[in-house]
Structure 1
Amino acid sequence: MAGMRRRVPVIGLVILVVGLAGVALWVRSARDASWAAAQARQAAVRAAAAHAVGLLSLNHRTVDEDLKRVLVTSTGRERERYADGQAALKAATLKNKVVQTGVLRASALESADADRARVLIVADAVIRWENGEKTAPEERFFRWRMEVSKVSGRWLVSDSELVQ
């Protein structure tokens, strides 16, 4: 009977330790999932920001690389739209010897799920012309809502719209 009394507290202690270990694993798993989701949201915002700066950064000396950079950061409708206007944009950039520099001012996540996000972007561009027609630089201001989609593990801009 005395042996039985000692076993009951030991069994209770084992059950308690196993239960606490299970709770600790569950908490860690939930924390890791939360951290991974936060990292994915940040990656979506960074992808939209990089795309916006790419759209606004164009130099007649590096126009081919500049255009490719935008195509690499886009997919779907956004990529199609940009590809359709690429030849005209390149011709105008070369003809006018444009040097346009994009600057990200702000970016924020509007909404997100596992494979889609909507990101708000505020960016500006300073445009200079090296052909002498215009001497003073021109500033332009852009506000976008960008749809970002996860494609093969990468966040790419799938659509964008200018907003006020």
Structure 2
Amino acid sequence: MKSMKSMRSMTSSRAGAVGLAAATLLTTALTVWLALALYDQREADQRRQDVLAAARQSALNFTSLDYRHYDRDSANVLAGATGDFKKQFAAQTGQLTDLVAENKSVSEGQVLEAGIVRSDEDSARVLVVADSKVTNTAVPQGEARTYRLQLDLVHKDGRWLTSDVEFVG
């Protein structure tokens, strides 16, 4: 017959083992949860950086056009565009080519600020403030212009593309 001391010792050992197992399980679950949360945060941060980079590039392409190589410049705008915006810009390219050539228009854009209004995994809205120096036959010395643009972007085929551009107040 086992002594009471021996039985208490065994019960205490089992309780300690169960407690250790529970603590290990809890620590493992917490570690997995934190790792997943960190992964989600990094993914969201990367998405925001990608959205801002695409919006900045799109705004820069849109505000930087030169009559001497308008075909290349308009192709850059179209390469970052999709949907109705791409269709509208492509439809106007012929007229714009003639207009910028006739006026010898050059616009040198510079993005000053960009901020995300909203975003999710598939779409985003970004406000961009850009300046450009515009020269043409009417203003050969150049004229500074400031643009406030609202860009809607969609994530398509692994890239963020501009689906709409609006000039805002």
TM-score (norm 1): 0.91
Instruction: Check the 8 A contact 1:121/1:146 in 2, yes or no.
Output: yes
| Aligned amino acid, residue 148 of structure 1 | L
1:144 counterpart SS class: strand
1:159 to 153, 156, 164: 164
TM-fit CA distance, 1:4: 4.2
Distance (whole Å) between structure 2 residues aligned to residue 144 and residue 133 of structure 1: 25
| Aligned amino acid, residue 161 of structure 2 | L
Cα distance change of structure 1 residues 122 and 133 upon mapping to structure 2, 3 Å threshold: closer
Deviation per CA, 1:50-81, whole angstroms, max 9, x where unpaired? 11110111112322211111001111111111
Higher mean displacement: 94-103 or 116-125? 94-103
Distance (whole Å) between structure 2 residues aligned to residue 100 and residue 160 of structure 1: 18
Residue of structure 2 in register with 1:137 after alignment? 142
Residue of structure 2 in register with 1:97 after alignment? 104
1:62 counterpart SS class: helix
Residue of structure 2 in register with 1:25 after alignment? 32
Aligned residues: 162
Where does the alignment leave 5 or more consecutive residues of structure 2 unmatched? 1-6
| Aligned amino acid, residue 150 of structure 2 | R
2:22 to 15, 38, 55: 15
Distance (whole Å) between structure 1 residues aligned to residue 138 and residue 130 of structure 2: 26
2:114 counterpart SS class: strand
Deviation per CA, 1:7-55, whole angstroms, max 9, x where unpaired? 3202211220121111011011012102211221221122111111101
1:127 counterpart SS class: strand
Residue of structure 2 in register with 1:68 after alignment? 75
| Aligned amino acid, residue 55 of structure 1 | F
Distance (whole Å) between structure 2 residues aligned to residue 25 and residue 77 of structure 1: 43
Where does the alignment leave 5 or more consecutive residues of structure 1 unmatched? none
Report whether the alignment pairs 1:82 with 2:82.
no
Residue of structure 2 in register with 1:125 after alignment? 132
Distance (whole Å) between structure 2 residues aligned to residue 133 and residue 78 of structure 1: 28
Instruction: Check the 8 A contact 1:41/1:117 in 2, yes or no.
Output: no
Report whether the alignment pairs 1:54 with 2:61.
yes
1:34 to 27, 30, 41: 41
1:74 counterpart SS class: coil
Q: Which runs of 4+ in 1 moved over 6 A?
A: none
Equivalent pairs: percent with the same residue?
30
